[in-house]
Amino acid sequence: MTYGFFVHHDADNVGVAVVDIEKGQAYKGWLMETDGSVEVVAAGNIPLGHKIALAPVATGEKVIKYGYPIGKAVQPIAKGEHVHSHNLKSLRW
């Protein structure tokens, strides 16, 4: 099976694109811990290596990757949306 993104940890609310994702297309994601899968329709184009939201994320809510918070949403993020520096602020600074 071909996957469009990988999800590293069951607690993650983002996956990482392993292909260039195209807006409006449905993509399957591989859940690495359970060897399961999840499907998300892309809300926009997402480049290879960037994050896709697996669920809505409210402003101020933490974005989880590898099972750990990596930042906070600075605006609402819809399911399937590109998660990057335009809508995510690092927790480091």
- CATH code reported for the domain at 5-90: 2.30.130.110
> CA-to-CA distance for 4 and 11, rounded, in angstroms?
19
Q: How is residue 13 written in tokens?
A: 């609310």
* pTM for the whole structure: 0.95
pLDDT at 1: 67
* Range 24-34 average pLDDT: 97
The 10s digit of each residue's pLDDT in 69-85 is 999 999 999 999 999 99
pLDDT at 34: 95
Where do the domains of the chain lie?
5-90
Range 9-43 burial, b when 16+ CB lie within 10 A, else e: eeebbbbbbbeebeeeeebebbbeeeeeeeebebb
The 10s digit of each residue's pLDDT in 30-61 is 999 999 999 999 999 999 999 999 999 999 99
